[in-house]
Amino acid sequence: MKASNYVWLVLLLLVVFGGGCADNSFTLIMLPDTQNYADIRLKESDQGLSGDDLRNHFYAQTEWVKDKAEKLNIAMVVHVGDIVQTDYPAEWEIAEEAFQILDESTPYILSVGNHDMGYETISVNPPKYRTAVTRETQINNYFPPSRFNHKPWYGGNFNESSENYYCIFEEADMQFLVISLEFVPRDSVLAWANNVVASHPNHRCIVVTHWYLKADGTRFTKNPYGVKGNNAEQIWGKFVSQHKNIFMVLSGHVLGESRLTSVGAKGNYVHQILADYQGLPNGGNAYLRIIKFIPDKNRIDIRTYSPTRNKYMKNPESQFTLEYPMQ
């Protein structure tokens, strides 16, 4: 066989048996609010309905990621917060079981939402409660830094806690940094985050925080919660806009989908994206975001998919393309 024919045969086999991933594309998976899947106490998502336990939707998401990790070249899973409903141990156990599926296969980063902290009961019948009354959270009991700090992709944390930490990975000859900020981050946290990003000038940075973008595509400017800290507009001004290597912010919290592209202080474009499906049947129908980076085309394709329904959302806010220079 001629050498040239042999090369073409090898390339063809790579495409056929490598799942069609002969390019240098890679994927991030975004998990929007999973609170209802872990809600075994209040069962808010099914009031007046079946009251079924919805945890299998959570498990289906991480099982799907594990199954598709190689085919989609999944670099990391990003959870945007409200992991549980009421910071309840049995709910955190559900979340832990879901992520145990990924512990040995796929890196993941979690963001603390208001439902993951400071729960306070107001009335039992009908059930009413407040969240984020304090910064108390049990995330460190189930996802402590010791769970991650031996991983090559784990970067570090703030104050020995998983309420704020960052991860790194490399794909397509590019270095990436994903940093997770607590709900309504304090000034001390933003100072830490500024230092982390500034000390990684060659890393392309994604910020994950629960409460940031509204359903109308604007940033939050007021804080109605008990914990004190920075609203989204302040996060943008004090942190996100100040670094030329930050190009994306992912958030949840608000039912719906929206996006906003803003220009940072260094002239760079920052894509800010909201996704939250908790108001759909079954607490969200397991919908997640597939964020595919296509370096050769300087493009990011975003799709919204449900592993339990095997169905994509087709509206313009659920599937779209972003421009991002990677060449």
Query: What residues does each domain of the chain span?
Result: 23-323
Question: What is residue 52's predicted lDDT score, i.e. its pLDDT?
Answer: 61
Tell me if the domain spanning 23-323 has CATH number 1.10.10.10.
Answer: no
Q: Can you tell me the distance from the alpha carbon of 30 to that of 304, in angstroms, rounded to the nearest whole number?
A: 9
**Of 87, 78, 134, the residue nearest 106 (C-alpha):** 78
Question: What is residue 50's predicted lDDT score, i.e. its pLDDT?
Answer: 44
Question: What is residue 297's predicted lDDT score, i.e. its pLDDT?
Answer: 97
Tokens of 19: 């799942």
Q: Can you tell me the distance from the alpha carbon of 93 to that of 95, in angstroms, rounded to the nearest whole number?
A: 5
Asked if 63 and 193 touch (Cβ cutoff 8 Å), the reply is no
Q: Can you tell me the distance from the alpha carbon of 154 to that of 103, in angstroms, rounded to the nearest whole number?
A: 13
Asked if 138 and 122 touch (Cβ cutoff 8 Å), the reply is no
Question: What is residue 98's predicted lDDT score, i.e. its pLDDT?
Answer: 98
Enumerate residue ranges in the chain where pLDDT < 70.
Answer: 1-22, 45-52
User: Each residue of 129-177: pLDDT tens digit?
Assistant: 899 999 999 999 999 999 999 999 999 999 999 999 999 999 999 999 9
User: Each residue of 250-281: pLDDT tens digit?
Assistant: 999 999 999 999 999 999 999 999 999 999 99
Helix, strand, coil fractions of the chain, as percent rounded to 5: 25, 30, 45
pTM for the whole structure: 0.91
| 3-state SS, residue 58 | helix
Asked if 286 and 165 touch (Cβ cutoff 8 Å), the reply is no
Question: What is residue 9's predicted lDDT score, i.e. its pLDDT?
Answer: 43
